[in-house]
Amino acid sequence: MRYADNIFQIRNVLPNDNFLEIAEELNMIGNGNQWRFTKSDSEEANNRGWLFKPLGEFDNIGDNLVLIKYGTYLQYVCQKYVKKRLYLHRVNTNLQFFGQESDFHDDAPKGSWTLNLFAQPYWDTVWGGQFVIQTEDGDYFYYPYIPNNALIFPGHLEHMGHAPNVRCKLPRITVAFTYMELTSQVNGV
């Protein structure tokens, strides 16, 4: 479904078993999960919300093979909507509890696309956590947090996710897959 120019909503973007595999991978409570979230909003670090194993080395896409696997699958979903050839550039994760409000930010320059997946498997919309995008015209587009739904939008648009409200005891978890457009080279240049 298209909501605004170049903003697409996809309901149940992944088959349920695949969605639950991502949710299980991101489950930080118990189960011996070795992943940890880090967050840095500094320009120098440029690693907002990366997910990595402790003591692990990683490049700009991280080292979580489950997220990279689904990022590759979702690349084809994005291409279907945006009608452009893309490649997976980066995978960002975001985890917020009550009171952890974020700021507006972009994911990459023009020529990028983000698929933002709402990755918490159980959520009640009365808990808040809505997602907002500011369009190029200065309008704001709000979308409720609904598990296994995704939004595709140009990665250069300012956006943010609101933290859950005081009624919620679960974290609001999203995975943002950022893709870059492939450009054709002319005469080997």
Q: pLDDT digits over 69-107, tens only?
A: 999 999 999 999 999 999 999 998 888 999 999 899 999
Is 46 within the bounds of a domain? no
* Tens-place pLDDT, residues 163-179: 999 999 999 999 999 99
Q: Phi/psi of residue 109, each to 5°?
A: -75, 180
Please state, in angstroms and rounded to a whole number, the distance separating the CA atoms of residues 60 and 46: 9
The pLDDT of residue 81 = 95
- Residue 135, phi-psi category: left (phi > 0), alpha (psi -120 to 50), beta (remainder): beta
Is 187 within the bounds of a domain? no
Is 145 within the bounds of a domain? yes
What is the extent of the structural domain holding 164?
2-41+51-181
Please state, in angstroms and rounded to a whole number, the distance separating the CA atoms of residues 55 and 73: 28
Is 165 within the bounds of a domain? yes
Q: How confident is the model at residue 188 (pLDDT cuts 50, 70, 90)?
A: low
Q: Higher confidence at residue 188 or residue 67?
A: 67
Provide the CATH number for the domain around residue 32: 2.60.120.620
Within its chain, how far is the Cα of 82 from the centroid? Answer: 17
Mean pLDDT of the chain: 82
* Tens-place pLDDT, residues 27-75: 754 444 445 555 554 444 444 444 444 444 444 455 678 888 999 999 9
CA-to-CA dists, residue 41 to 49, 92, 126, 131, angstroms: 9, 12, 28, 18
Q: Yes or no: say if 104 and 134 are a contact pair by the CB < 8 Å rule.
A: yes
- Residue 72, phi-psi category: left (phi > 0), alpha (psi -120 to 50), beta (remainder): alpha
The pLDDT of residue 37 = 52
Is 189 within the bounds of a domain? no
Q: Higher confidence at residue 160 or residue 32?
A: 160
Is 74 within the bounds of a domain? yes
Please state, in angstroms and rounded to a whole number, the distance separating the CA atoms of residues 125 and 182: 37
Supply the DSSP symbol for 125: G
CA-to-CA dists, residue 100 to 4, 59, 146, 154, 163, angstroms: 28, 27, 19, 25, 6
Is 30 within the bounds of a domain? yes
Is 168 within the bounds of a domain? yes
How many domains does the chain contain in total?
Answer: 1
- The average pLDDT across 1-12 equals 82
